Amino acid sequence: MSVHDLVAITALGGSEPCVETVGAVTCTEVPGVALASVAARLGQESKAAKALAKLIGSPAPGIGRTSGEALTAFWAGPEQWMVEAPFETHEEIADQATTAMGETASVTEQTDAWTRFDLSGDGIPAVLELLCQLDLRTLDEGSAARCSIHHVGCFVLCRTSRLFSLYGPRASVGTLHHAIITAMRSAL
Amino acid sequence: MIINHPLLGPRDASEFAYLGDASLIDRPDWQAENAAEAFYEYAYLRDNPVGEHRELWFHEAGDRSWLVVTRNTMTHEISKVELARDVARARGRSK
Amino acid sequence: MTQTNRLSGGQIDRNTTLNFRFDNRSYTAHSGDTLASALLANGVRMIGRSFKYHRPRGVLTAGSEEPNGIVELRTGNRKEPNTRATTTEMFDGLEAQSQNRWPSLKYDALAVNDLFSNFLSAGFYYKTFMWPAAFWEKLYEPMIRRAAGLGSLSMEDDPDEYDKGFRHCDLLIIGSGPSGLMAALTAGRAGADVILADEDFALGGRLNSETFTLGDHSASDWAAQAVAELSALPNVRLMPRTTVIGAFDHGVYGAVERTGDHLPTLPAAKPRQILWRIYTKRALLCAGATERPIAFENNDRPGIMMAGALRSYANRFAVTASERVAIFTNNDDGHRTAADMHAKGVKIAAVVDVRDDAPTSHDYEVLRGAQVTDTKGRHGLTFVEVALADGTTRTLDCGALGVSGGWNPNVHLTCHQRGRPAWNEALAAFVPGPDLPVGLSVAGAANGVMSTHGALQSGAEEAAQLLELSGALPDLPKAEDAPVAQKPFWCVEGCKRAWLDQQNDVTVKDVKLSYQEGFRSVEHLKRYTTLGMATDQGKTSNMGGLAIMAEVAGKSIPETGTTIFRPPYTPVPIGTFAGRMRGQEFHPTRLTPSHYWAKERGAVFVEVGNWLRAQWFPLPGETHWRESVDREVRQTRASVGVCDCTTLGKIDVQGTDAAAFLNRIYANGFAKLAVGKTRYGLMLREDGIAMDDGTAGRLAEDHFVVTTTTANAANVYRHMEFVRQCLCPDMDVQLISTTEAWAQYAVAGPNARKLLQKIVDPEFDISNEGFPFMACGNITVCGGLRARLFRISFSGELAFEIAVPARYGDALMRRLMTEGEEFAVVPYGTEALGVMRIEKGHAAGNELNGTTTALNLGMGRMVSKKKDSIGSTLSEREALNEPDALRMVGIKPVDADHKITAGGHLMNTEGPVDAAHDQGYVTSAAYSPSLNSSIGLGFLKNGGNRLGEQMRLVSPVTDLTVEVEIVSAHFVDPEGERVRA
């Protein structure tokens, strides 16, 4: 673990994550997550899936799915996954994933490429239908889908029917957060 | 428009970026005797069919797959959607 | 004023009284009224003036097909012109103004146009305002617009919010009349996900306007029960106040939900309207039918309305337009209006039926075989003249006349993908043709099924068929099932000033004239006369115009053809299409990791693509941007400066074939680049033109980090994926964008290393020997934070780019500033960055402008001939390699006080100044504080051999002529000693 003395700020520029509640839905900025992308090397696809399964203690997620518990992974593209881990304990998830994947995959640190917002509570679909084109009927527990929210490319993950995670690119987070809060105020 | 992504199912066309004729996959051999002529045709000349057209779309707001979409230019009917990588392999680009 | 024309019954809430104002007079209405029904209830028949002749006009219909009853709704910045009073749901405090009149509705100055109608006939504009052409813009058009406009705009920003949304379903049902409700019940009970949309605020369609029964219930009660059942089904979503405006490719439907138009004021943060994109494989159009008029002399007076509309006002809104009403019809439906109104206590002057065998009545007089030949009443109908079957004339005393020429199926949406309606002889009407949008079916009156029983049955059947339901259909309530036949009767013989299109003031005479003048196609007729244009899109007028045209041509209507409909079904405010994408929200904004710090420093920001970048950092006392920028440049070159360059695209390229892949996308070679080294790379398009440039650093044998220019990041990534997936599908290479993951800062200037040595952890040697020019590697900073260091320079100084995870970027920038105090470190923005790169002669977007080759850029030799790279073959084309091809050069004014202007062209000192003698052009220009002179970069024919030559820099557009000297593009440190220091 590093012992440097630089202080992080959240993507929205705060020292603490931003939390906002409208009606029965709460939107929480989640900086406490470390990310690494894992892309299988050519011809190593099944070995990579096995190595990933070992890393997250759960089968590698299929198309449009998430899996895992302490460490989770979600499908990001053909033979490509994103691994999520608690930032506190896994800030250097990319190094850990590189070791775990060995020669089977290319690993890239993505922790600060993305910012996560969690939507929790009742009535989330009414908010999401103002934000993205996804067929929410098919977005069941354990789904992961990439989509565009106000021209910002995002991942939408359904953890449970009352908890969704939205990942958006860190630099566009102001636009994304504004869009989410505006939709919450409009729909709820 | 809706493009039926081979992996992800129906997705709105606004998630995709359009490139053009799928013949762009058939990039000529740079060492061929007629390479200059072949590259000229490859870069500049396209068929402009009435009816079925095979074209390249990129799932920009999705999984970043390039797709070959067979679309009828008269009706917009999309009769086939393939992963461009599979098409490229089938057309002998594995070298 | 009291509501003198209110009848008994209706579906209004008499317990709720609402106040509203029309043309600055106060009235009352009830909840459930429309503006039109409320005005009629208050005895207001005249609502506006017509488009061309400024004739008094009233309400014609009770729906969205309304051509006449259009007003300016609300006031101030919420004013909305051309709003149909017939669909405007009443709310307390509503304010509306009549349109197209001055000084008042009753005394209108331009009503004089009516007297000169002979001069304002078909094609009037085309014939009159022909020449001189210059008069169009300055005189004719403004004049015509003032005279012929509809409502006026507020000229202020729309203060309301609009949303866009996306919904998916198994079946979209458009229209909630008997067929729509029955379809929704059928599909909803079967468990399908159903959306039922209707433009009206009350679901039920025509059932709310009729007195017949469905089973044991009145029509409106049955509708209310059906709606109650549907709203209890979790799989059914009811969307009243929602107009489906278009049927688009592959089962995408546009719908506008008016969530706030019926409210006096919008609740905070709530949208006025939502533009829904509804995705469904199957849709059922149950849009019903629109009643069509009959043309007769002076048929446009206030009080003359569609018979079905009179019935709607009486039955649903409990309103009559007058206490004495006459009917003019060619079909049985007109008689239904007479019977219903009679039952409500309205005096029926007579039913004038063109048919000799028309049904008779005990309650009122029916004039068989008779026709209305003229009307009287300047500001509203007073008398109707009728030619009786026996040749005599009779005058009827009445204040309202209900007209029915039959009903046209509402085929609008069936045409949205070029489908042409088909002629149905039995109905004498167009019905949906065979080429429907894929997945769309039509039921009920919209499909020509005119009886209520037929509508219920076809709704159930079509829904079941679309969803492939097995099993019995739901039981249908017993409903009227009279056969409907419609005999065409379009206009009374001999009529001239008989209006077909009341919105555009097109008469029977105009259509005949246009035919005489040679307009044979219906499309030409439409454009020449303007029939069927404007806000109502000819919903009540197209059919009549077409019929008259067919008659004068001696052809049948199907032979004459028909125009088709395009989206939107009814007008949509521009704000609804914009949604939230307005002003600052028009596109996403991307902020750099040092943004909050830069804002604190008072930086001036500039939009670069979607990014906001610091342009310069003014200090107190600096009054002109040049002061700040010159200081930033001088200070950087004298000591050290820091610039946020996070915005450059960064793409991670990994895999065993990563080097081979870079060899393919870059014109120059990368295979031999050592690990720990960075190289400049030039990317070409396949046609040999430069696409983008940047650097690629090799972090490991199988791992590169590629940078792109800020503007091209997305395009380059897309291109690289194209090469990977489509051209080299079996290369082992993986790509991922890491642009936002790392905060990356350029630290430039002679003291750059000294500053960085205070931050980089001591185990990393960044001396010139340990970390030479173009080195790169993973390091740690500030006691162990992972970071990347690249020794690359855009400024021409000793420089590094240092990257840390973005969350630490703010802290790193602050640290660089405090640690740099001893060197008087200066933050610099994009402006100083631009000045320094011009001084150094580095090409940027202005030079990589989509027309220039590697040769033009002075990098011709970089294009490797030993490998296959994108664009290399076509870059060898003869025409791109002529001896006098453009070359990048530097440009300096001969007189240091003169300015170099980007965009100016280079001409020889002697000779003409014209395109034929053009020698080149300037792409970038700046004031160089290092040279104390304006300088520029540009392209000059054979430029490499013309250094030292004097030329003229000209811009004929701005009368610019400056004597300049051609110099090397490398104004500063041409030998590159500083970058290697």
Give the tens place of pLDDT for each residue, C632-688. 999 999 999 999 999 999 999 999 999 999 999 999 999 999 999 999 999 999 999
Clarify whether residues A145 and A104 are in a common domain. Answer: no
Percentage of the residues of chain C whose pLDDT score is greater than 70: 96
Judge whether A2 lies within some domain: no
Distance of CA C526 to the CA centre of its chain: 25
Q: Which of A78, A109, A140 is the last residue of a domain?
A: A109
The arithmetic mean of pLDDT across residues C739-761, rounded, is 97
HEC per residue, A7-43: CCCCCCCCCCCCEEEECCEEEEEECCEEEEEEEECCC
Question: Which residues of chain C are within 8 Å of residue B26 when distances are taken between CB atoms?
Answer: none
Clarify whether residues A123 and A171 are in a common domain. Answer: yes
B61 closest CB neighbour out of A76, A138, A148: A148
Question: Which residues of chain C are within 8 Å of residue B40 when distances are taken between CB atoms?
Answer: 874
Tokens of C370: 């008779």
* Model pLDDT for residues C933-967, shown as the tens digit of each residue: 999 999 999 999 999 999 999 998 888 899 999 99
| Count of Cβ atoms closer than 10 Å to residue C41 Cβ | 27
As assigned by CATH, the class of the C649-739+848-865 domain is alpha beta
Clarify whether residues A98 and A119 are in a common domain. Answer: no
Clarify whether residues A146 and A159 are in a common domain. Answer: yes
Report the phi/psi class of residue C718: left, alpha or beta, with left for phi > 0 and alpha for psi in -120 to 50.
alpha
**Closest CA of chain A from C783, distance in Å:** 4
B63 closest CB neighbour out of A78, A135, A148: A78
Clarify whether residues A135 and A160 are in a common domain. Answer: yes
Q: Which of A109, A139, A167 is the last residue of a domain?
A: A109
Alpha-carbon span C13 to C10, nearest angstrom: 9
C168 closest CB neighbour out of A7, A137, A174: A137
Preceding peptide of C618 cis, ω within 30°: no
The predicted pLDDT at position C665 comes to: 97
Alpha-carbon span B3 to B69, nearest angstrom: 8
Q: Which residues of chain B have pLDDT under 70?
A: 95
Residue in C222, C219, C238 with CA at minimum distance from that of residue C230:
C238
The predicted pLDDT at position C495 comes to: 87
- Interface mutation target, options A112, A167, A176, chain C, most CBs of C under 10 Å: A112
The predicted pLDDT at position C530 comes to: 86
The predicted pLDDT at position C120 comes to: 67
| Count of Cβ atoms closer than 10 Å to residue C975 Cβ | 8
Preceding peptide of C573 cis, ω within 30°: no
Alpha-carbon span C677 to C771, nearest angstrom: 9
**Closest CA of chain A from C260, distance in Å:** 12
Question: Which residues of chain B are within 8 Å of residue A145 when distances are taken between CB atoms?
Answer: 8
The predicted pLDDT at position C238 comes to: 98
Do residues C86 and C313 touch, judged by C-beta distance below 8 A?
no
Task: Give the CATH number, domain containing residue A100.
Answer: 3.30.70.1520
Judge whether A61 lies within some domain: yes
Alpha-carbon span C873 to C877, nearest angstrom: 8
Range(s) of the domain holding residue A39:
33-109
Task: Give the CATH number, domain containing residue A142.
Answer: 3.30.1360.120
CB contact under 8 A, C783 and A172: no
Clarify whether residues A135 and A105 are in a common domain. Answer: no
pLDDT over 60 at A152, yes or no: yes
Torsion angle, alpha carbons of B44, B49, B52, B58, to 10: 30
CB contact under 8 A, A175 and C655: no
Percentage of the residues of chain C whose pLDDT score is greater than 90: 88
Question: Which residues of chain B are within 8 Å of residue C438 when distances are taken between CB atoms?
Answer: 77
* Model pLDDT for residues C277-314, shown as the tens digit of each residue: 999 999 999 999 999 999 999 999 999 999 999 999 99
The arithmetic mean of pLDDT across residues C167-196, rounded, is 98
Tokens of C595: 């943004």
* Model pLDDT for residues C102-114, shown as the tens digit of each residue: 777 777 777 777 7
The predicted pLDDT at position A1 comes to: 47
Q: How confident is the model at residue C16 (pLDDT cuts 50, 70, 90)?
A: very high
Q: What are C491's strand-pairing partners? A: C295
pLDDT over 80 at C128, yes or no: no
| Count of Cβ atoms closer than 10 Å to residue C390 Cβ | 7
CATH fold of C490-560: Arc Repressor Mutant, subunit A (1.10.10)
Residue in C633, C637, C428 with CA at minimum distance from that of residue C547:
C428
Clarify whether residues A94 and A135 are in a common domain. Answer: no
In terms of CATH architecture, what is C303-404? 3-Layer(bba) Sandwich (3.50)
pLDDT over 70 at C149, yes or no: no
Touching check for A31 and chain C: CB below 8 Å?
yes
C251 closest CB neighbour out of B2, B24, B28: B2
**Closest CA of chain A from C651, distance in Å:** 10
Which helix (DSSP H) or strand (DSSP E) does residue C421 occupy?
none
The arithmetic mean of pLDDT across residues C500-514, rounded, is 91
List chains adjacent to chain B, taking adjacency as at least 3 C-beta pairs closer than 8 Å: A, C
Torsion angle, alpha carbons of C840, C844, C849, C852, to 10: 50
Do residues A35 and A71 touch, judged by C-beta distance below 8 A?
no
Percentage of the residues of chain B whose pLDDT score is greater than 70: 99
The predicted pLDDT at position C609 comes to: 87
Break chain C into its structural domains and give their ranges: 1-155, 162-290+409-466, 303-404, 490-560, 600-646+741-842, 649-739+848-865, 882-981
Amino acid identity for residue B43 in this structure: A
CATH fold of C600-646+741-842: Gyrase A; domain 2 (3.30.1360)
Question: Which residues of chain A are within 8 Å of residue B61 when distances are taken between CB atoms?
Answer: 146-148, 153
Clarify whether residues A100 and A37 are in a common domain. Answer: yes
Mean pLDDT of chain C: 94
pLDDT over 70 at C923, yes or no: yes
CATH fold of C1-155: Ubiquitin-like (UB roll) (3.10.20)
**Closest CA of chain A from C912, distance in Å:** 50
Q: How confident is the model at residue C562 (pLDDT cuts 50, 70, 90)?
A: confident
Right CATH number for C162-290+409-466 from 3.50.50.60, 3.20.20.70, 3.40.50.12160, 3.40.50.2000?
A: 3.50.50.60
The arithmetic mean of pLDDT across residues A112-124, rounded, is 97
Judge whether A8 lies within some domain: no
Clarify whether residues A27 and A118 are in a common domain. Answer: yes
pLDDT over 80 at C135, yes or no: no
The predicted pLDDT at position C129 comes to: 58
Clarify whether residues A89 and A78 are in a common domain. Answer: yes
Tokens of C318: 């409990």
Residue in C228, C227, C232, C225 with CA at minimum distance from that of residue C173:
C227
Clarify whether residues A118 and A183 are in a common domain. Answer: yes
Preceding peptide of C568 cis, ω within 30°: yes
Per DSSP, B13 falls in state: G
pLDDT over 90 at C51, yes or no: no
As assigned by CATH, the class of the C882-981 domain is mainly beta
Amino acid identity for residue A163 in this structure: L
Tokens of C933: 């002179």
Q: Which of residues 68-107 of A touch C (CB under 8 A)?
A: 80, 92, 105-106
Across the A/B interface, how many CB contacts are shorter than 8 Å? Answer: 30
Counting the structural domains of chain A, the total is 2
Clarify whether residues A119 and A152 are in a common domain. Answer: yes
Alpha-carbon span A177 to A188, nearest angstrom: 16
Task: Give chain B's domains with CATH numbers.
Answer: 2-90 (3.30.2270.10)
Whole-Å CA distances, C339 to C211, C380, C527, C743? 10, 24, 41, 79
Judge whether A26 lies within some domain: yes
Do residues C334 and C328 touch, judged by C-beta distance below 8 A?
yes
Tokens of C510: 């105009």
| Count of Cβ atoms closer than 10 Å to residue C241 Cβ | 21
Q: Which of A92, A109, A126 is the last residue of a domain?
A: A109
Judge whether A5 lies within some domain: no
Q: How confident is the model at residue C473 (pLDDT cuts 50, 70, 90)?
A: very high
